[in-house]
Structure 1
Amino acid sequence: MMGVTLPGVVLIFFSIGLNIQTVESCSCYLSHPQDDFCTSEMVILGDITSKEYVIEDGWGELFRYEIKIIEELKGFNNAKGIQYVYAYQDEATCGITLDHRRYVLSGHRFKDHGIKVHFCDLVKRWDVLSLTTQENLKQAYKTGCNCMISACSGSPCCPQSKNECMWENNSPQYLEYACLENSYGVCSWYREGSKVDADAMCIPKGRSIFSFLKKMFG
């Protein structure tokens, strides 16, 4: 692997799901919050109550935040007993800075009572999320992890299988939606419990709805 330093290799392996870091800086592909939720080992909601420096481990300064868990949103066994959040501070090490606020956080188990969080994990202040997104994190996303969200551009923007929802041009409006499976095993976009009519962008011109659905779902 010529031209890539060891730190660069490690940063690449910090990647979660569709999130990718580069050697030059820590950046992430835009991913849907449902993807972040479903690909995470655990997701918790909690209040940050304190912060302290822990150690310089060769990659950067690792800090430990004390957290009061409000709710375990995913990975109940892994999230049980979490008392601390560990994170680097520098962007070069995919670090984050947390304030004394309520956050929704995803990450992996670290040490005895901790969760380690990186820049491309799900790290959101709870008070800036819409009520719809809050409800999705608490309820809807966990029921949609059998579905797949795929980005596309142009028209038609059509799913290739019945368990796929298309995210057209990474449109911000879709951040309010959840991709959920119905009783027939077909995944579609929903918002606040109601199905979103996204069929129009999925039917190629000159093809009937019946032939299109037959090709998709057999």
Structure 2
Amino acid sequence: MTPWLGLVVLLGSWSLGDWGAEACTCSPSHPQDSFCNSDIVIRARVVGKKLVKEGPFGTLVYTIKQMKMYRGFTKMPHVQYIHTEASESLCGVKLEVNKYQYLLTGRIYDGKVYTGLCNFVERWDQLTISQRKGLNYRYHLGCNCKIKSCYYLPCFVSSKNECLWTDMLSNFGYPGYQSKHYACIRQKGGYCSWYRGWAPPDKSIINATDP
């Protein structure tokens, strides 16, 4: 699964009989944006699931064992359940039970954590070292920066707090090199720029422990 921020595009009418005509479509999102726009970011293992009768196709409720939290300490310090639509056409996400550790992001509604295909949901072993370091400290440093998507040339930044995201122009496609290996971090003078490296840009303000 790839990190997305998304829109559910409903194809067909809103009548219950036409729910099967719906499809989930998400716009590309850099992992840092997914991190900064989420209420909850955790690493967890799925240990159970059940289908409950909510919505037209029901809701899948995953029971998880939280391994580590990266974002959401003040909102919900310990997450036990993750909710998602049962239908993938409504952006529901399918997770394996007792098989993998996952990086899970989501939003909190009415005291429950919800996630889906348009959130950043990925097997932990599929993340790059740079993405893991981003989750631990780099992405947080860049939440005041803006990642500007570039779909067509020419592209330009319009303010000093922007980083130009060009993965969509690459021959390698999306997600690309910037998604996998870079974070957009505020540097000296208030300018935001792409950062990659083993050492943090400013050791005085970063806890550089590995995730």
TM-score range, shorter chain: 0.7 to 0.9
Q: Of the candidates 172, 177, 181, which is equivalent to residue 173 of structure 1?
A: 177
Does the Cα contact within 8 Å between 1:37 and 1:43 map onto a contact in 2?
Answer: yes
Q: Say whether 1:51 aligns with 2:49.
A: yes
Residue in structure 2 matching 1:33, options 31, 34, 48: 31
Structure 2: runs of 5+ lacking an equivalent: 12-22, 171-175, 201-211
Measured after TM superposition, the shift of residue 192 of structure 1 is: 2.2
Higher RCO (CA < 8 A, seq sep 6+): 2
Are the structure 2 counterparts of residues 104 and 35 from structure 1 closer, same or farther at C-alpha, using a change threshold of 3 Å? same
* Superposed CA RMSD: 2.1
Alignment of 1:174-213 (within 5 A): 174-175=178-179, 176-192=181-197
Counterpart-to-counterpart distance in 2, 1:47 and 1:186: 38
TM-score relative to the length of structure 1: 0.74
Any stretches of 5+ residues in structure 1 without a counterpart? 1-16, 196-218
User: Residue in 2 aligned with 1:6?
Assistant: none
Task: Give 3-state SS (helix, strand or coil) of 1:78's partner.
Answer: coil
- Shift of residue 111 of structure 1? 5.7
Summarize deviations over 1:58-90 as a string: whole Å, max 9, x none: 322212111111111112112313111111221
CA deviation after TM superposition for structure 1 residue 96, in Å: 0.8
What letter corresponds to residue 21 of structure 1 in structure 2?
V
TM-score using structure 2 length: 0.76
Partner Cα separation in structure 2 for residue 130 and residue 165 of structure 1 = 20
Measure, in 1, the Cα distance between the counterparts of 2:81 and 2:110.
9
SS of 2:158's partner is coil
Secondary structure of 1:82's counterpart equals coil
Counterparts of 2:153 and 2:87, CA distance in 1: 40
Amino acid at match of 2:34: D
d(CA) in 2 for partners of 1:56, 1:178: 40
Q: Distance in 1 between matches of 2:70 and 2:143?
A: 13
Aligned to 2:128: 130
**Aligned equivalent of 1:19:** 6
Letter in 1 for 2:125: D
**Do the aligned residues in 2 keep the contact of 1:68 with 1:83 (CA within 8 Å)?**
yes
Q: Taking every aligned residue pair, what percent have the same amino acid on both sides?
A: 34
**The structure with more radius of gyration:** 1
Give the Cα separation in 1 of the matches to 2:129 and 2:95. 22
How does 1:79-158 map onto structure 2 within 5 Å? 79-99=76-96, 100=98, 101-110=100-109, 114-158=112-156
Aligned pair count? 177
- The 3-state SS of whatever aligns with 2:118 is coil
Higher mean alpha-carbon deviation, 82-91 vs 179-188, is at 82-91
Distance 1:36 1:124 in 2: 12
Cα distance in 2 for partners of 1:169, 1:189 equals: 13
Aligned equivalents of 2:81, 2:37: Cα separation in 1: 21
